[in-house]
Every structure is written in C-alpha cells, then in structure tokens.
Amino acid sequence: MIDMKPPLTHKVPQHIAIIMDGNGRWAQSRGEPRVHGHRSGAQRVREVVEAAGQQGVKVLTLYAFSEENWQRPIEEVHALFSLLVSYLREEIERLHENGVQLCSIGAIEKLPEDCQQWLRVVEERTRSNQGLKLVLALSYSSRTDILRAVRGIAAAVKEGTLDEQSIGEATINSYLSTNLLPEPDLLIRTSGEQRLSNFLLWEMAYTEFYFTKVHWPDFSRADLEAALSDYAERERRFGSIHPQ
C-alpha cells in the first residue's frame, strides 16, 4: 500500500521545548538512587540533541534545572550540576562539529562557578555555528523572567526612554531572556505529567503540547520522531478558522 502522508519535513517544528521529567521515578523503579536516573537522562540529552538537529529542528530548549529545583537535597543539586559539567566538557567538540550553537537562559549567576565557566567556554566555542540552537534553561523560572521584564519596562518608562502607550507584546518579548528565539511550536513533557511547571509561560501561548508516559531516561530518537509525526498531523489555527 502506498503511504500518502506528506514527508515529515513539511511540518517540522522550528522550536521544540522539552520538560525532561521522570528521571527520579525511572531510577527508583529500578531500586537505584535518583542520581542514576539523572545520569541516564544526561545520555538521552546527547541522543535527542543529535536527532533534533538531523530532523531539521532549529531551536531545542531543554528545561534542565528550574528555580524551584534548588529546593532539592543538596547532594542531588550537586550531582545535577556535576552531570551538566561532564556533559559540556565531553560534548563540546561534538556539538561544534555538528554545527550546534549552545546558549542558556535563567539565573546563570546562581550556578556553581565551574558550571558557569563551562557554559561560557561552550557558548564561546559554538557562537558562530549555524545549525541547531541548543538552549539550556538553568535555574530558570518563567515568572521570574516575566517579573524582570516588567521591572525593566517600568524603569524605561520612568527614565523616559519608553513611551507607556507604545508598550505592546513585542516590547515584552524584547525584555524576556528568550527575546532572540522564535516561540516554541511544540512542547514535549515526558513521564506522564501534564503541566507547565513555570516553563516559558508567555512564550507558549500557542504552542502544541505533546505528553508521553515515557520517562526521560527512556526517551529515545524513536520517541522524538513519534512526537514529530504527531505534530505534523496537527492543524494550527492561532485562533483563526484557517490553518496557518
């Protein structure tokens, strides 16, 4: 039988945002400590970054550590940042060779010094790459980002550099840490939870959501492709009656 479906490339999301959830449960279901789940999760990051680039995705934003995650036990927080440093150190050349450009959003100044340093090194090394833009959301809170934008706008109005009447959506966009990124087309959240958890709240007004029960440490290239196929079937109307 001939498959009449259009090739996936017709509707590849430009920007995918992922909430990589379920590391802890994945580990605990195997009788392992939570950090084992994070370690396996970090391996999946390598695979998914490569697969997203190969599928033609332009931007991939990964929610790697939320502002709220600081409340976790200190050993887990340390383990997460140590995994991040290992990832950056081990992947820097591969990211560069694959044309990936790495950047970060969130309160980076709160991260351990070695983590900040490695982020700077990889960002600098990959700065002029034209392939996939990999955005790591670290110590990130969307409400904090919006608050910071509101304060910035208020200060500009007070200084007289911004006219209150000219404030529009574009003004708010320009004050957010995501100002250089397109809005996410597709949000993927793993492990069966169905919430946003303070991630890109303003930016996801018209994002398509894809929830899967698969825990992040099991989320493979094939799972990403399943999400992309699902997205390709969707009709996006952005509030109008016509597909756009």
Q: How many CA atoms lie within 13 A of 184 on its CB side?
A: 27
DSSP 165: G
Question: Looking at 136, 181, 186, 228, which residue binds ligand FPP (CB under 6 A)?
Answer: 136
CB nearer ligand FPP, residue 216 or residue 231: 216
Burial class from Cβ neighbours inside 10 Å (0-12, 13-18, 19+) for residue 145 reads buried
Question: What are the C-alpha distances in Å from 105 to residues 62, 169, 187?
Answer: 10, 20, 17
Burial classification of residue 48, based on how many CB atoms lie within 10 Å of its CB (0-12 exposed, 13-18 middle, 19 or more buried): buried
The verdict on whether 198 is a catalytic residue reads: no
Which residue is catalytic, options 3, 23, 69, 173?
A: 69
Question: Does 132 interact with ligand FPP (rule: CB under 6 A)?
Answer: no
Confirm whether 223 is a catalytic residue. no
Contact between 21 and ligand FPP by CB under 6 A: the answer reads yes
Asked if 140 touches ligand FPP (CB under 6 A), the answer is: no
Under the criterion CB under 6 A, does residue 18 sit at the interface with ligand FPP?
A: no
> What torsion, rounded to 10 degrees, do the Cα atoms 32, 28, 84, 50 define?
100
Site size for ligand FPP (CB under 6 A): 20
24 is a site residue for ligand FPP (CB under 6 A): yes
Q: Are 27 and 33 in contact (CB under 8 A)?
A: yes
Is the Cβ of residue 114 or residue 234 nearer to ligand FPP in the bound state? 114
Interface pick for ligand FPP out of 41, 106, 131, 184 (rule CB under 6 A): 41
* Binding of residue 45 to ligand FPP (CB under 6 A): yes
Give 123 or 167: the residue with its C-beta nearer to ligand FPP: 123
